[in-house]
Structure 1
Amino acid sequence: MVVVDVQELLLPLVWRGEELADRIAALARAARRAGAPVVALRQVGPPGTDFDPASPGTRLSPRLCLEPTDVVIDKTATDAFYRTDLAAVLAERRVDTLVLTGVATDYCVDATARSALSHGLDVVLVSDGHAPAADGDPRAGLTAEQVVDRHNRLLAGAVHPGGTLGLRPAADVVFTRRG
């Protein structure tokens, strides 16, 4: 399971942030029970910015109830694979399918889903497990709910040579352990 950027700074800014974090925490508990790894990504940036790694806002939300066995990876780009060890961490754990959740639908979740596919991984995008900004995309005239729906449809229909992407609501996600 991969959790994208559910950070103290971002959670209050996204659509139904606390509800989203609680849903992701429940999925993470289910993943751990099944022996599946939980990887939490954290967006960081240069010192003195909102994403300064030392800033309290960059901390992952305590609502996630992360465990010491969970892996936390800092990233500096929307694509969580870009200049991180995410691919190596997943390969080391023999992960071939990501259950993907997090923030923000139209930025880091989208970029990470596409990159995972290009890395040859299958992706289960939790259809109710990601969120955009609370106001959606006002420039495009889309509410937050419309942004989620649009990206669910776009990503599920994307063609990638590596993996496949399927949508599943959180209530229908089942984790299995390989081997």
Structure 2
Amino acid sequence: MKAALVIVDVQDTLLPLVRRGEELADRIAALARELRPGGTPVVALQQVFDPESPVSTRLGLEPSDVVIRKTATDAFYDTELAALLTGWGVDTIVLTGLATDYCVDATARSALSHGLDVVLVSDGHAPAADGDPEAGLTAEQVVDRHNRILSTAVHPGGTLRLCPAAELPALVLR
């Protein structure tokens, strides 16, 4: 497995709006620090807003990390993400970020359609702080639901599996 850590839309203006945003950003930053020394590239996606919202400084991105601006929920749509991953020889993305039920979901499905395997960090993504009130789901239930749906669905390209952040370095760096 040749993996890349993909961080979706962890931006300062969004962190207060999602479930445990700062805690999540810190967890993702710790993952990046653990994975970089083993050669895992780090890619941060930045949703373009007006006014623009930069990637969160809490992530502690390094000069070797790549930031890709995007305009759609799918991080592959009209971006250089697929070409970059192919150039690195990546066959698996380790997926984290915001928001569970929008950009993380769309990016996971698109990665699979691009023939990539996905390791979804089961505690590495978050929805809106209030979950999905129209569906009667708390934020925790949204995360659980998407973890279950994404990990059990049949996908046309790669495979998707769940892994909690604490177990991820052993999986990726083995």
Cross-structure match for 2:18: 14
**1:16 aligned partner, one-letter code:** R
TM-score (norm 1): 0.92
Cross-structure match for 2:85: 90
Question: Hey, what's the Cα distance between the residues in 1 that align with 2:38 and 2:27?
Answer: 17
Cross-structure match for 1:35: 39
Cross-structure match for 1:113: 108
Equivalenced residues, count: 168
Question: Hey, what's the Cα distance between the residues in 2 that align with 1:18 and 1:176?
Answer: 26
Identity %: 76
| 1:15-59 alpha-carbon deviations (Å, 9 max, x no partner) | 000100000000111120111100000001xxxxxx12x53xx11
Question: Hey, what's the Cα distance between the residues in 1 that align with 2:105 and 2:143?
Answer: 10
Within the alignment, does 1:141 sit opposite 2:145 as a pair?
no
SS at structure 2 position matched to 1:128: strand
Residue from 70, 73, 76 that aligns with 2:68: 73
TM-score (norm 2): 0.94
Shift of 1:150: 0.1
Question: Hey, what's the Cα distance between the residues in 1 that align with 2:37 and 2:26?
Answer: 17
SS at structure 2 position matched to 1:173: helix
Shift of 1:176: 2.9
Question: Hey, what's the Cα distance between the residues in 2 that align with 1:60 and 1:121?
Answer: 24
Question: Hey, what's the Cα distance between the residues in 2 that align with 1:93 and 1:12?
Answer: 34
Cross-structure match for 1:47: none
Question: Hey, what's the Cα distance between the residues in 2 that align with 1:129 and 1:42?
Answer: 17
Listed as ranges, the gaps of 5+ residues in structure 2 are none
| 1:1-21 alpha-carbon deviations (Å, 9 max, x no partner) | 000000011111000001000
Cross-structure match for 1:131: 126
Question: Hey, what's the Cα distance between the residues in 2 that align with 1:152 and 1:160?
Answer: 14
Cross-structure match for 1:173: 168
Please list, as runs of the form range in 1=range in 2, the aligned pairs for 1:156-167 lying within 5 A after superposition: 156-167=151-162
Within the alignment, does 1:4 sit opposite 2:1 as a pair?
no
